[in-house]
A = this chain, B = another copy of it.
Amino acid sequence: MEPVTGRQVRLAAGFWQTWLDRLRRDILPHQWRALQDAVPGAPPSYALRNLRLAACGEGGEPRGRPFQDSDVAKWLEAASYVLQREEAPDLAAHAAEVVDLAARAQWPDGYLNSRFTLDRSRPRWRNVRDDHELYVAGHWLEGLVAYHRATGDARALDVAVRLGDHLDRTFGPGPGKIRGYPGHPEVEIALVKLWRATGEGRYLDLARFFVYERGRQPAFFALEAQSRGDERPYDPRYFLSHRPLLEQEHATGHAVRAMYLYAGAADVAATGPDPALVERLRALWRDVTERQMYLTGGVGQEGHREAFTVPYDLPGDRAYAETCAAVGLVLWAQRMLRLEADGRYADTAERALYNGALAGVSADGRAYFYVNPLEVWPAAAVARHDLADVSLTRQPWFECACCPPNLARLIASVPDLLYGVEQDGATLFVHHYAASEADVELAPAGRVRVRQEGDYPWSGSIALSLSPDRPGEWTLALRLPGWARSATVAVNGVTVAAPLPVQTGYVTLKRLWRPGDQVTLALPMPVERVRAHPSARDLAGRVALMRGPLVYAFEEADNGPDLGALALGDVEAWQAWREPALAGGAVCLSGRGWRRLPPPEGALYARDPIPAASVSLTAVPYWAWGNRAPGEMRVWLVDADPLGPST
């Protein structure tokens, strides 16, 4: 299916419009300041400094991480998504400057990477495994293509094409080319975008080559290391190069690399028939989302190497769940959905978007989490070595700052996630709910203006007004979220009889649609308890709260310290209420729970049952945690009813 993107979709007042406003007014300006080292107290980025020096052609010592260019490129991509829908003179000026710098920093042969421009003693493409050159190139391509699409600027596309051509000349199966693939996948996604922007098949071919060549024998990374005399051992699993992708059974290694590789592979799979690749991606999808994903949609359990560990290893406190990995999971989900219309992909995209990803930024847009645990215990986080990566509060920037601009581009792209049109042009999919207006082309109806109203995710009442150019028979497919226990759909006030016509997670309404047709979808949003699969050991005997797509968290600010002593029983009487003061307005949940009390004399272990006091508890959306006084946070509480019906 084809997504409906760009100016075709415009948000209206609501949850995501608020975030887009915040993005334009706070997040992107803050990030621009950070990129030019102008945020007091933040680690310097050096990214714009490097790029400006490279553009001047004067050389100099590159500073910061080897992939600092990518932060600028991701910022450019995010700003471009904003610019395609609204006026933002400051962002427009900065984005134009970035494109100008890129054009000037680009080598005559198309190569673009400030670090190697500044330090010409370091040979290009010598260490494809570790130097992140393809990763940086990919982000440049994505940013430049997005800018071109937003502004029509020919120079941006020209820089991208010259860079793409350079990659095509450098890599591939042909003679004299490097028969290799990126150490950090990313460029696969970017090359598909460049192909879509230009129609030039060589870019798609190269993306395809990178996907299929990866993991073949003889191992490129080993050969490459040998050729540069590098005898240090490396772990092919970390790089997802231990075997060809078609033979990889489990998500492994560096989580962000995995997400980007799978997303790029899904892009490739969408362009041509390769049932084996699609089947492999489905299997990996299940491995990630059914065995290795946090409740929040965070992935990558372990801080050491930012990697996957083993199925069902989902510790709350030690969770790494890098913001970039949640962003990557959305990117992958979106592409799986393009491959096949299955609501599970949109369910997971929603989970990761509203929880694991969005938690990465503060309500004021100026501070970020890199690591997103589901439990924070400040005393331990300071003392314990295994929690060294955990930050108790969001930070203004990072020495390795991949996450903030990644999250920015995701937020900026939310309108592009909402709708899709089936190949035959006769089915309109509504994947996600957000107050908005969209114009889509459908074969039987011409242009259809779709107006979506509602207060999602706070409310499950959604209204759609359809204004097709002409009456015609086509299918409106409304996603029935996996979290919804029931749904009521009405067309022009007439309720669709149960059972609803549901196909792979979508309510499919095929009929003759006329201008002015109204569709309503009512998804009850009770407060609900969620439990994990019994094999998830760290979550055994634990329960979390969700309402709609949102995971909730308990904070010390509401519930006092020692959150581990809290237990949750029945939540039927819990109330959802709007707290305007929290994160620009968030729906919180309150009700009764339990606080387990210390045994007499504070004994560490006791043979008598643990008494419990009934207490009032309040939970906030996980994404909104950490926007008040620093303190404890916990998603999973003790489950007062750990056993369901016995068999």
Residues of A within 8 A of B (CB): 289-291, 293, 295, 302, 304-305, 309-313, 317-318, 375, 377, 379-380, 383-386, 483, 485, 528-537, 540-542, 546, 562, 564-565, 567, 569, 594-599, 602-614, 637-647
Contacts and interface: CB of A to CB of B under 8 A. Distances in A.
Given A310-B384, A541-B542, A531 B289 contact: no
B386 A291 contact: no
A564 B535 contact: yes
Given A293-B604, A603-B533, A610 B642 contact: yes
What 7 A-B pairs are tightest by C-beta distance, nearest first?
A609-B644, A537-B564, A541-B541, A304-B385, A534-B565, A534-B596, A541-B638
Contacts of A569: 643
A644 B375 CA distance: 25
B603 A290 contact: yes
A640 B638 contact: no
B310 A647 contact: no
Given A542-B541, A642-B541, A642-B596, A531 B377 contact: no
Given A643-B640, A647-B611, A541 B562 contact: no
A602 B344 CA distance: 14
* Copies of the protein in its oligomer: 2
Given A541-B542, A612-B645, A614-B646, 14 more contacts: A289-B604, A304-B385, A313-B380, A377-B537, A528-B607, A530-B607, A534-B562, A535-B565, A536-B564, A540-B637, A610-B643, A611-B647, A640-B642, A640-B643
A537 B639 CA distance: 13
A567 B613 CA distance: 23
Most buried by B among A385, A540, A637, A647: A540
A624 to B, nearest CB: 20
Given A532-B604, A534-B596, A383 B646 contact: no
Contacts of A295: 605
A290 B486 CA distance: 49
A530 to B, nearest CB: 5
Given A318-B386, A613-B646, A640-B642, A607 B541 contact: no
A310 B564 contact: no
Nearest to A375: B537
A647 B612 contact: yes
Nearest to A565: B534
Contact of A647 (B383, B530, B532, B597): B597
Contacts of A311: 379
A291 B349 CA distance: 42
Contacts of A530: 605-607
B290 A612 contact: no
A295 B529 CA distance: 30
A380 B302 CA distance: 11
Contacts of A528: 607
Given A534-B610, A541-B541, A597-B534, A302 B386 contact: yes
Nearest to A288: B604
Contacts of A637: 540
Most buried by B among A309, A383, A537: A537
Contacts of A641: 609
Contacts of A642: 541, 567, 596, 610, 638-640, 642
Contact of A644 (B542, B611, B643): B611
Given A594-B646, A644-B609, A644-B612, A309 B564 contact: no
Contacts of A302: 384-386
A312 to B, nearest CB: 8
A383 to B, nearest CB: 5
